[in-house]
Every structure is written in C-alpha cells, then in structure tokens.
Structure 1
Amino acid sequence: MPPPPQSIAGKVSRFFSFAAARDRCFNRRFLAAGLRPVSIQLPDSARPVSISDSADPVTTVHMWVPARPPRNPLVLLHGFGASATWQWYPYLRPLIAAGFDPIVPDLVFFGNSSTRLPDRSDTFQAWSIKTALEAIGVTKFGLVGVSYGGFVGYRMAAMYPDAVERVTLVCAGVCLEEKDLAEGLFPVAAVDEAAALLVPRRPEEVRRLVRLTFVRPPIIMPSCFLWDYIKVMGSDHIQEKTELLHALISGRQISTLPKLRQKTLIIWGEQDKVFPMELAHRLKSM
C-alpha cells in the first residue's frame, strides 16, 4: 500500500521548502513587474547615509522600488505578516496598469528590515520608512496601509502631512483602545493574547490565525507545511514583534489620536474578525 498523503508531504518537506519556494516566486514577480530590491541604512536618527552597506548600520529598511524614478509613487505598507512580497504580489500589475509606481517596504522587524534601537512605536516605524524614502529621492507620495501597516501609514500621514498626499487604510483598527480588548470587541482579551495570536509559533496557532483572517480558510492545513512556513517566514524577531504589539496597544486611547488632513479612503471587510466593522465607523467619524 502507498503511504498516506501526510506521510508523503512530511518526507517531501524535509528536502523541499514550499514556503521558501513561494517566497522566491514572489520575488521573481516583483522583478518581472519592474521593481528592484534595495536596502537603506539609517545609522542614526539624523539622516540616511546610503542605499548600500555601511560599516555599522543601526537601522536597515529593505524595500522594492521602481527601476526608474517614480512619477506617481504609491507606498504599500503590509500587515502583521511575514513580509511585503507575500502581501502585495497580487496587486503590483493592476496598480502599475492604473498609473501608479509602487514602492513596497518591509516594516522594521519584518522581511529584511531591522534595527538595533529599542524603539518599538509606530512613530519609529513611520520615521524609518519616511527617511528611507528620502534616501531614494521620494519626497511626496500616496500610501496604502493594511492592518498594522495602516497604523504605521496613519502615523506617517499625521507626522508628514506635506509628504503624504493621500491615504488608503484597509482593515486598520487605528481607532481601537486598550479597553476594547477587555470589553470583548476582539477575539482576544489582552495584549499578550493578541501577541500570541499574531506571532504564531506552532501549527495550531497558525490555524487559528488563518481561520480568523480568511473568509474561506483552507479545510486542510497539514502541520508539516505549517512548520515549514513558521521556520522560513515566521521565526525571526519573535520577541521584537511581540514588543511592537505591546507598544501599539498598551494604553492606546482615541483621545490621543491625531486627525488627518489628507483625503483618506477607508476599506473594510464586513466579516473581519480581527478588526470589527465598529472600528471602521469610529475612524470615519473622526
């Protein structure tokens, strides 16, 4: 008798990583769309030094940028997932066809972006991306932020109103307050539980996250493939990502949230289980 399917998958996954193969495939799609990867070194809080390696970089921001100088730059900020390529690869060609020049950064502690500084705030994320954009000569741009990327995008728009010309926020619970967790608005009741959900370390945690974030989650999710995904895409900077969530949620209040001056488009999913529609209505009313 032939071995059961899961046994075959387990043997294959020892020699071939599906997650790594998908990652390479997404990178090729970015290259085929006319983008190239760059790493910008930000050694201090004063100014960027170069787009190449420096002797002792403090902060590195990796991003995909157009091969030619962008005429209509649109910065795409990913959510609390593995990296920017996984989030945005389906949308590159439609955006380019619509006349945009996508710029796709990895937020700090995602993909190939990192820092040795202790700051975990969305303010620091916003500064890092804005400073990296200045290093490649982009001073005015629109932006789209999904989920956590929407938090960072909102902060960028508030901090740099002359640079951020227009904003799109997609399922970004910017208007959440820490008390919302205890009051049952979310599927988690505390910041630590939110961190465990969004930074999965075991297959059962990945399954829970997928069921919450997909309207039609896969019926079968073999553990061998989930372990492969965690190893390839989700095992870096676990502690730092947990700290990002604590910095984002702890003590958060709507009363301290700045209002945006830019024209802003809000896009939400009616069946969103991570950030319920109530947060969309709060945001619209600001």
Structure 2
Amino acid sequence: MVNLVHVAKKQLVQRLAKMAGLRQRAVDVDDAGTVISIWVPKDKLPAGPTAEEMETERRKKETKRNGGRLSVVLLHGFAGDGILTWVLQVVALARHYDVYVPDLLFFGGSVSPAGADQTPGFQAECVASALRRLGVERCVAVGFSYGGFVAFKMAEADPALVVSVVATGSLVYMTRSTSEAMLRRLGAASFAEFLLPNDVAGLKSLFAAGTYRKWWLPDRVLSDYMKLMIFNRKERTQLLEGLVVSDEDAAVVVRSYRQWPRFLTLPVRIAGDTLALGRQRQHLQHGACEKPQRAARREGDAAKHSKGGPLGDAGAAARLQRLSQRVPVAAVTLMHHHDDGRGAAYAQACYLAKI
C-alpha cells in the first residue's frame, strides 16, 4: 500500500525545497561512519567532489560576493526530520539567507555507528562539522524543541561558528526538575512515551501539544506518518535520556549565557491566553499589534529586557520585534510555559522572520 506521507514529502515538501534552491547531500563528519544528511543551497555545492575542492570553490564565491549572505541553520525537533519541519520557513528565508537544513542523528538520512554519543553535545559537534566541511564559517542556529538544545550546544562549543541562536519550545538545558514537572503536566511516564508514540492516539496527543491550531487528519495519514517518521526508537530513546542534566550542572552554564550582551529571554505564558494570542497573530507578524504593545510597556522597560530581564505575556512578541530592530543580531530563546502546549508553532513562524 502506498504511504501517503511519503508521497506528499517527495512530491510536495522536497519539491518546494528544490524550488527554493536547496539540494540534499550526505556529508561524512568523521572517520567512524557518522553521516549528516543536509539540505544545502545549490550554489554552495561546487562540481568538485572532494572537501578540498569544495573549500577552494567556496572561497572564490565568497570573495566575489564580498562576504556573501548570512547562513541560517534550521534544526528540527523530535516529531519530524529537517525538511518536513522547516519547509515553509525555507521557502521564505531562502530569498534572503543561505539556508541549511540538516537531519539530526537518527532522523531522516543521518546515521551514526552503534555506541555513538547520544547527547545534544555530540549532535551539535556533528552538525558543526558538516557545516564546516560545506564551507560555512558563521551562521545563525535556529532550533525548534530538541533542535533548540542542539543550537545552544553549538553556540557553547563553537562560538566562532554560531553568531546567534533562535530557539522556540526549548531551553538552554533540560534539568531534572524541569523534566519531572513537564512530564507531570503531560501525564506521561517518560519523554519517550510521549515523543515516540506507538499508536495513532499517541501521535494525536503529540501533535495536539505541539501545534497552535487544532487540526484533523485521517487515521490512515497519521498511521503512514508513524511508519515513515518514527524509527530508530532505541537510539532516539537514548537521545532523550541524554538530554536531561542535573540542576546544579545546568545552573553554571545558564549563568554564562546571561553574560551575552545580545541574549534575550522571552517566556510566553500560553495558559489562559491561547485565544488572545491567536487573535493577534497576524497583527504581530506585521508589528502592528497595539494592545500587546501596551501590555508589554506595563511589564517593564525594553532596556532591562535586553540585559536578560523576562517578559511574561503575549505583549512580549511586539516588544521583541522592536528590540530586534535595535539589536544587530539577537540571540533569542522562546521559553513558553504552557499547560496545553499550544502556541509553539505560531511562535516559531513569528520570530524566524526577525533574524
């Protein structure tokens, strides 16, 4: 029987990515057999098959373009691979940026031998290595959910590569206390139970928690999605186990991030305000939402926020838009505290345009 999601991905999603000027490539990142599958701007792929030839050609093009465009790396979450998660953003961003969309290890076409490190740090190392081999020297790392953790690790490990981070539905670290609180709220025994569902009902719960709007798909389509996208269960379970760190270890690193002059935090409290945020979403995208702006001004002053002070309601969106015009390249983390998980998809779409 034909897998409908596979057909849609091949005929629609990948075609849109190619129309935006991207091509899929597999990049060897070490000698152990680790391979990162990544969508790359086609003009960044010279005819020469070797890494040395690619680097030479890249330097020629970079010189001609007088520095070139900013590179943006889009890192996906647990519910899908790179291009399926980001295709709509790719279409919009590729007009102005060099967009790179990798599959993280054990997702899509990215693989690593048995016994490989299962932490966000190793994911970050592999993505950074792939980018370096493709000639990327500076980039903005954009992460959704699990991809946000990887983005922060990239910035921590390779600040020369990552000029800023945009993260939504994520944190700098997943501490043990935070993970326990989230699992209680979700009513799940583990993140693997929630993020790696075994049946259609579980997949519906996952999608309901990760999207702003309620939407309906036939069980046949959801079943096909599970068959195509949810595999490598053992390895992905280990990834989730490697995500959680102690509260003490995380506190040290979070304090170091606070020293960044362009580090902004934006807690978006969705509970009880989901409908209000939804009503304002189109106005926020154009920076013309007056009510949230007034609410944001009541929350405190923008100068305080630019030094790390938090914002607490839907008005934070309008404030961030104003700040992003004054801060050259803002490192932004969207930490949404929610009861039902809605709002993540909208926040992702709203702030990518403000890189």
Q: Does the C-alpha gap of structure 1 residues 185 and 113 become closer, same or farther in structure 2, counting only changes over 3 Å?
A: closer
Are 1:203 and 2:200 counterparts? yes
Are 1:110 and 2:107 counterparts? yes
Q: Which residue in the other structure is 2:8 paired with? A: 22
Moved more, 132-141 or 172-181: 172-181
Q: Specify the SS of the correspondent of 2:185.
A: coil
Q: Distance in 2 between matches of 1:250 and 1:123?
A: 12
Q: Is the 8 A contact 1:186 1:275 kept in 2?
A: no
* Distance apart, 1:141 and its partner CA: 1.1
Q: Does the C-alpha gap of structure 1 residues 119 and 276 become closer, same or farther in structure 2, counting only changes over 3 Å?
A: farther
Q: Which residue in the other structure is 1:51 paired with? A: none
Q: Does the C-alpha gap of structure 1 residues 91 and 63 become closer, same or farther in structure 2, counting only changes over 3 Å?
A: same
Q: Does the C-alpha gap of structure 1 residues 201 and 171 become closer, same or farther in structure 2, counting only changes over 3 Å?
A: same
Q: Does the C-alpha gap of structure 1 residues 208 and 43 become closer, same or farther in structure 2, counting only changes over 3 Å?
A: same
Moved more, 194-203 or 251-260: 251-260
Are 1:58 and 2:55 counterparts? no
Structure 2 residue corresponding to 1:230, chosen from 223, 226, 229: 226
Q: Distance in 1 between matches of 2:23 and 2:138?
A: 20
Amino acid at match of 1:267: L
Q: Which residue in the other structure is 1:75 paired with? A: 73
Q: Which residue in the other structure is 1:172 paired with? A: 170
Are 1:239 and 2:237 counterparts? no
Q: Distance in 2 between matches of 1:131 and 1:30?
A: 23
Q: TM-score, normalised by structure 1?
A: 0.78
Amino acid at match of 2:334: I
Amino acid at match of 2:331: T
Moved more, 64-73 or 205-214: 64-73
Q: Which residue in the other structure is 1:265 paired with? A: 332
Q: Is the 8 A contact 1:186 1:274 kept in 2?
A: no
Are 1:187 and 2:212 counterparts? no
Structure 1 residue corresponding to 2:123, chosen from 116, 125, 128: 125
Q: TM-score, normalised by structure 2?
A: 0.64
Q: Distance in 2 between matches of 1:252 and 1:41?
A: 35
* Distance apart, 1:149 and its partner CA: 0.4
- Map residues 93-104 of structure 1 onto 2, 5 A cutoff: 93-97=91-95, 99-104=96-101
Q: Specify the SS of the correspondent of 1:229.
A: helix
Q: Distance in 1 between matches of 2:88 and 2:339?
A: 20
Q: Is the 8 A contact 1:66 1:102 kept in 2?
A: yes
What percentage of residue pairs aligned between the two structures are identical?
Answer: 28
Q: Specify the SS of the correspondent of 1:62.
A: strand
Q: Distance in 2 between matches of 1:43 and 1:161?
A: 21
Q: Is the 8 A contact 2:21 2:94 kept in 1?
A: no
Q: Does the C-alpha gap of structure 1 residues 208 and 92 become closer, same or farther in structure 2, counting only changes over 3 Å?
A: same
Are 1:40 and 2:27 counterparts? yes
Q: Specify the SS of the correspondent of 2:137.
A: coil
Backbone CA RMSD of aligned residues: 2.6
Q: Deviations over 1:200-223 (max 9, x none)?
A: 1211110111121122222x4433
Q: Specify the SS of the correspondent of 1:115.
A: coil
Q: Does the C-alpha gap of structure 1 residues 127 and 110 become closer, same or farther in structure 2, counting only changes over 3 Å?
A: same
Structure 1 residue corresponding to 2:140, chosen from 136, 139, 142: 142
Q: Specify the SS of the correspondent of 1:114.
A: coil
Q: Does the C-alpha gap of structure 1 residues 124 and 21 become closer, same or farther in structure 2, counting only changes over 3 Å?
A: same
Q: Does the C-alpha gap of structure 1 residues 270 and 179 become closer, same or farther in structure 2, counting only changes over 3 Å?
A: closer
* Distance apart, 1:96 and its partner CA: 2.3
Between the two proteins, the alignment pairs up a number of residues equal to: 248
Query: Could you list the runs of 5+ residues in structure 1 that have no partner in the other structure?
Result: 1-14, 45-56, 278-286
Q: Deviations over 1:7-49 (max 9, x none)?
A: xxxxxxxx332111121121111111101111011233xxxxx
Q: Specify the SS of the correspondent of 1:104.
A: strand
Q: Distance in 1 between matches of 2:7 and 2:184?
A: 34
